[in-house]
Chains A and B, each alone.
Chain A
Amino acid sequence: MQLTLEFGGGLELLCDSVKSHNINVDPQDGEKQLTMKNLLSWVRTNVIKERPEMFMKGDSVRPGVLVLVNDTDWELSGQLETVLEEKDNVVFISTLHGG
């Protein structure tokens, strides 16, 4: 499944200062769907290069990191349970940097 990821608000610093990533990720064995929960653990392993604790806490994003799926607040689509589809665009923005 092809997805676009964007990191902003300082989170790009955790992945070699690259803001936009085109990725290819498939549901894990035995799973039919890819959820945000699956994606986050994939991102942590494959995209984040340093200080993963700035991005995640437990199996979710760190409080203070905003997530938008197709430009919609993930709080409206079920957060970790949000089911992703082909060509979806996922944005992560830290609110914790600077003022």
Chain B
Amino acid sequence: MEKTAKPKSRLCTLCNEKRAALKRPKTLEQICRECFYTVFEDEIHRVIVDNQLFKPGERIAIGASGGKDSTVLAYVMSELNRRHNYGLDLFLLSVDEGITGYRDDSLETVKRNEIQYGLPLKVVSYSELYGWTMDEIVKLIGLKNNCTFCGVFRRQALDRGAALLKVDKLVTGHNADDIAETVLLNILRGDIARLGRCTSIITGEDGPIPRCKPFKYTYEKEIVMYAYFKKLDYFSTECIYSPNAYRGFAREFIKHLERMRPRAILDIIKSGEDFRISTSTKMPEQGTCERCGYISSQKWCKACVLLEGLNRGLPKLGIGRSRGINSEHNANTKQANGTQSLQSKQCGSLDF
């Protein structure tokens, strides 16, 4: 069933021996499968080494959704850890948002990955952490703002899971396309605080558990090609509750740019990195939540505000322009720093 490639296709520009299997978006080189595996893995290794993402002996959690990016990340991380003797203890960390017909299926994929890659898996659930599943939340609030709840809750859930695993760092599968998209979205929202940090390869170094993104410069096309050629087992169904229109539009825009000029993705990331935030821009001050102790720039963290709303039967609390808990106590600082960073963010699976 293995048919030969079309006569038009040429030899690999790297080894000059085998037939090329893909065109790299980053360099436009035409390369064979074996050379692709090598350059793909080597580039990620370089990113890890050049940015000193890990130290020997560290415990590292891989945020695993069962999707393409985190599946390839788990595979490549365990490969590189072995090959280059990073000396890391790797774990898979998954969040169960409680979405029937979506997360239960993708968690099955993560459980297979646990066995395939021999990495211990920890699952934390919204129902145990917050007393609410996304199914229950959507039943209460409908399909508006549900992604805000999910995104805010996921961010904390990953941190809490990482704390339970006693890991030193959390790695996520955010790829170059994701980061370019987030740069654009932060510009569109005027979210200067996020614009400044969304291109950082390591974030939260001042917080309890730093996060890093080894795929920061890795194109989505190459991740999917890698998963396809290696026949990696991943799950690819869109969340049943995610309308995701705004982010989807930015996504599509980036994919159009990529088709015309593949380098556009790296160039957007570079623009994001090189922005200088003027000193007159007020940045939100980091503190801790008075209720749960999680990092927060307000009196209560966003998850506690949302949860309070759910439990009091006022689910609009914390959605849109802040009114309620934080603004009651915090009206002055709120106006002074003008932060609205966590408001009405679309699907939070890409939280930075």
Give the nearest-CB partner of A88 in chain B.
B3
Partner of A68, one of B175, B228, B255, B259: B228
Residues on B with C-beta less than 8 A from A69 are 5-6
Q: How far is the CA of A99 from the CA of B239 in the complex (A)?
A: 11
- Establish whether residues B9 and A91, one from each chain, have CB atoms under 8 Å apart when the complex forms: no
**Does B251 have its Cβ within 8 Å of any Cβ on chain A?**
yes
- Establish whether residues B238 and A73, one from each chain, have CB atoms under 8 Å apart when the complex forms: no
Residues on A with C-beta less than 8 A from B10 are 76
Residues on B with C-beta less than 8 A from A88 are 3
- Within residues 30 to 79 of chain A, which ones have a CB less than 8 A from any CB in chain B? 62-64, 66, 68-73, 75-78
- Establish whether residues B221 and A66, one from each chain, have CB atoms under 8 Å apart when the complex forms: yes
- Establish whether residues A99 and B178, one from each chain, have CB atoms under 8 Å apart when the complex forms: yes
Among B14-22, B132-140, B194-202, B317-325, which stretch is in contact with chain A? B14-22
Residues on A with C-beta less than 8 A from B38 are none
With A73-B23, A99-B350 as contacts: A10 and B237 at CB distance below 8 Å: yes
Q: How far is the CB of B8 from chain A (nearest CB, A)?
A: 5
**Does B30 have its Cβ within 8 Å of any Cβ on chain A?**
yes
**Does A15 have its Cβ within 8 Å of any Cβ on chain B?**
no
Interface size on A, residues (CB 8 A): 32
Q: How far is the CA of A76 from the CA of B19 in the complex (A)?
A: 10
Q: How far is the CA of A63 from the CA of B25 in the complex (A)?
A: 13
Partner of A63, one of B20, B70, B238, B255: B255
With A76-B30, A77-B6, A89-B3 as contacts: A99 and B224 at CB distance below 8 Å: no
Residue in A9, A13, A98, A99 whose Cβ sees the most chain B Cβ within 10 Å: A99
Residues on B with C-beta less than 8 A from A80 are none
- Establish whether residues B255 and A64, one from each chain, have CB atoms under 8 Å apart when the complex forms: yes
Interface size on B, residues (CB 8 A): 47
Give the nearest-CB partner of A64 in chain B.
B255
- Establish whether residues B237 and A97, one from each chain, have CB atoms under 8 Å apart when the complex forms: yes
Residues on A with C-beta less than 8 A from B106 are 98
Partner of B6, one of A8, A63, A70, A95: A70
- Establish whether residues B8 and A76, one from each chain, have CB atoms under 8 Å apart when the complex forms: yes
- Establish whether residues B3 and A70, one from each chain, have CB atoms under 8 Å apart when the complex forms: yes
Residues on A with C-beta less than 8 A from B221 are 66, 95
Residues on B with C-beta less than 8 A from A13 are 237
Partner of A66, one of B65, B69, B224, B251: B224
- Establish whether residues A63 and B252, one from each chain, have CB atoms under 8 Å apart when the complex forms: yes
Q: How far is the CA of A77 from the CA of B255 in the complex (A)?
A: 21
**Does A5 have its Cβ within 8 Å of any Cβ on chain B?**
no
- Establish whether residues B173 and A8, one from each chain, have CB atoms under 8 Å apart when the complex forms: no
- Establish whether residues B22 and A72, one from each chain, have CB atoms under 8 Å apart when the complex forms: yes
- Establish whether residues B224 and A71, one from each chain, have CB atoms under 8 Å apart when the complex forms: no
- Establish whether residues A95 and B220, one from each chain, have CB atoms under 8 Å apart when the complex forms: yes
Residues on A with C-beta less than 8 A from B67 are 97-99
Residues on B with C-beta less than 8 A from A8 are 228, 236
- Establish whether residues A78 and B349, one from each chain, have CB atoms under 8 Å apart when the complex forms: no
Q: How far is the CA of A82 from the CA of B66 in the complex (A)?
A: 34
Binding site for A on B (CB under 8 A): 1-6, 8-10, 19-23, 30, 65-70, 106, 173-175, 177-178, 220-221, 223-225, 228-229, 235-239, 251-252, 255-256, 258-259, 349-350
10 more CB-based (< 8 A) A-B contacts, given A10-B236, A71-B21, A76-B21: A62-B255, A70-B2, A70-B3, A70-B5, A72-B21, A72-B22, A76-B5, A76-B10, A98-B106, A99-B349
5 of the cross-chain contacts (CB-CB < 8 Å) are: A72-B19, A73-B21, A76-B10, A97-B238, A99-B67
